[in-house]
Chain A
């Protein structure tokens, strides 16, 4: 679309490229070059592209965000408030921290992590085991998917690599904490999560930052092995001037189970793509909750590819939009000719709390097999009047009833979190938006 502004980023590229990881890894060098060419030719996605028609990213072009380079690895030498970082860490999890797009070993907590599990920064992983990474990086998503992927592929400064070997069941969740501390910074990261055959893991991606304008551009590629089980949480709570572009791209092997919980609360403009390719008899569950206030624009874009028979997909996305906020949900389910006996359900429900709030919802079913069970439903509107009356009939006044039901609408998604510390953190955020008088936390 806008080659002129894209060129502001590309013009800078040659000066920053030597500082990017993997310079000595031929396959990556080649991949980055291809991606750079793709990005230079196309620029950022435009409203003319079907999958971007509701989300205008021109602000990112107008404002030049710069990668944080010449990075000083030790937190004490930087202006990072370590207590603040710690406040985002979950106490019952192994925690990996990325600050301004760079892995910080000092702030990460890995005590007791089994030696068989690999968990490290992406730059370190590329230095230590580039051949292994070639099997994954760019394999769950191609840089030709859209130009943000191309951008990420060319520009990523670091990221994380998690490999859970076959048969291993992780006893604690792994938190991947992304924080941005500098104004006008661009944190471009690539993360790879591999869960081997029969293995099980819970992983949490948390996104937070100091109250500045900055850009997070984070791509995560996920590989769930045969009969393996991964639950992945995304807690996006960026400050109100931040831009967030996240992509989660998943490949599920035969019988693999993948559950994703996407909490999109923060940012001025936040877009998340969650795509999964389903193998034979695999199952995926995609849950999402987006809460928009003021002028927030929150876009979630999911794609479920039923590639093989007997797979099951379940998707529920809910949004609560107030003030002038805008929520976008685009959910595609593609059932290929091979994917007989597919069982798929998708729903998107939006609650509008103000006349100026807007929800754009676009479910798409593309079915090329003939023996399948697929359903979808969307709603955009107000609270269910029957429920309001039910609460009134129990002596609760109308305003309180509406407040309870709005909270409940959101809390239904929070309830699905099975990690206690994360549940409490997310709930805290929801209660900030929808305070409940006299409620005991243990009752929720």
Chain B
């Protein structure tokens, strides 16, 4: 599904990603862990098409296409979804308006008829229940005045409705209490399917107690320094990240 080859990225002439290689197959869950400033969020942003990054080398192929060549909205329509670490507040645009506009632009892109208001409401309400949200959220402005947990849940709600192929979760667990984390995890787990992949960028191992990854990669200083199975996360929990630095230096 996604193939990252020797990707190097600069921000303001400073190299942030120093040759990333990553293969993600359909249905897999990959966790990307690492200390602050390791480049985790940069990787998430690059995949979603955020401006302000210079790709200086390497390639990213998504479903056989050059991902880096696509505008952000085209990536989204092709099935790439980024759950933001800091979801943006958009006063004046209701959640439901955004959701319908988003879903219809995806349908239109794929030559499918737009969803009518009734079917759309039925779909949305089902997903709202899944994430144990209040229906009133739908009519509130996007993320405005939401708590940290509500914002993250709202991201997962959008993901559940838009049904992307490649879900990138950028520190979705940061700032969540355990109850909110469980709900978010339940939402993510309900979306697992053989043709959907997940990239979870996280600083904490705790998320992985609830969403079990197939692979764990440790990103440090712009490079993947170690890859392994779910057990690698436990090792990191125990030892922290400093032993990896020593290993990298050695």
Cβ of A393 within 8 Å of any chain B Cβ, yes or no, is yes
A392 touches B76 (CB 8 A): yes
A-B pairs with CB below 8 Å: how many? 95
A396 touches B93 (CB 8 A): no
Cβ of A439 within 8 Å of any chain B Cβ, yes or no, is yes
Cβ of B219 within 8 Å of any chain A Cβ, yes or no, is no
Cβ of A391 within 8 Å of any chain B Cβ, yes or no, is yes
Contacts of B101 in A (CB 8 A): 394, 396, 400, 404, 438
* Proximity string of chain B (81-102) to chain A, C-beta cutoff 8 Å, 1 when within and 0 when not: 1101001101111101110111
| Given A408-B93, A439-B97, A443-B94, A396 and B73 contact (CB-CB distance below 8 Å) | yes
A394 touches B162 (CB 8 A): yes
Contacts of A400 in B (CB 8 A): 101, 105
**Which listed residue, B51, B71, B73, B92, touches A408 by the CB 8 Å rule?**
B92
| Given A438-B100, A438-B104, A440-B117, A392 and B72 contact (CB-CB distance below 8 Å) | yes
Contacts of A48 in B (CB 8 A): none
> Which of A400, A443, A444 counts the most chain B CB atoms within 10 A?
A443
A393 touches B72 (CB 8 A): yes
B98 touches A391 (CB 8 A): yes
**Which listed residue, A394, A411, A412, A436, touches B102 by the CB 8 Å rule?**
A394
Contacts of A397 in B (CB 8 A): 71, 73, 105
A389 touches B92 (CB 8 A): no
A395 touches B92 (CB 8 A): no
Cβ of A409 within 8 Å of any chain B Cβ, yes or no, is yes
| Given A392-B73, A394-B98, A443-B139, A405 and B93 contact (CB-CB distance below 8 Å) | yes
In the assembled complex, the Cα of A407 lies from the Cα of B100 at a distance in Å of 16
A408 touches B105 (CB 8 A): no
Cβ of A83 within 8 Å of any chain B Cβ, yes or no, is no
Contacts of A409 in B (CB 8 A): 92
* Proximity string of chain A (144-187) to chain B, C-beta cutoff 8 Å, 1 when within and 0 when not: 00000000000000000000000000000000000000000000
Contacts of A111 in B (CB 8 A): none
How many positions in chain A have a CB within 8 Å of any CB in the partner chain? 31
Cβ of A115 within 8 Å of any chain B Cβ, yes or no, is no
Cβ of B158 within 8 Å of any chain A Cβ, yes or no, is yes
Return the chain B residue nearest A411 by Cβ: B92
Min Cβ gap B200→A in Å is 17
Contacts of A408 in B (CB 8 A): 90-93, 141
Cβ of A50 within 8 Å of any chain B Cβ, yes or no, is no
Return the chain B residue nearest A387 by Cβ: B88
* Proximity string of chain B (13-54) to chain A, C-beta cutoff 8 Å, 1 when within and 0 when not: 000000000000000000000000000000000001111000
Contacts of A392 in B (CB 8 A): 49, 71-73, 76
Return the chain B residue nearest A397 by Cβ: B73
A390 touches B105 (CB 8 A): no
Min Cβ gap A177→B in Å is 28
Cβ of B77 within 8 Å of any chain A Cβ, yes or no, is yes
- Which residues in chain B, 59-85, are within 8 Å of chain A measured between CB atoms? 71-73, 75-77, 81-82, 84
A393 touches B48 (CB 8 A): yes
In the assembled complex, the Cα of A439 lies from the Cα of B93 at a distance in Å of 11
A390 touches B84 (CB 8 A): yes
In the assembled complex, the Cα of A400 lies from the Cα of B102 at a distance in Å of 11
A-to-B contact residues, CB < 8 Å = 384-387, 389-398, 400-401, 404-405, 407-412, 415, 436, 438-440, 443-444
Known contacts A408-B93, A440-B97; 9 further A-B pairs (Cβ under 8 A): A390-B88, A391-B90, A393-B84, A394-B101, A395-B102, A408-B141, A415-B141, A439-B97, A443-B97
Minimum-distance CB pairs A-B, first 6: A408-B92, A395-B76, A411-B92, A392-B72, A412-B92, A390-B88
For this complex, 8 residue pairs linking A to B, each with C-beta atoms less than 8 Å apart, are A389-B50, A389-B51, A390-B88, A394-B76, A394-B158, A394-B162, A396-B105, A408-B93
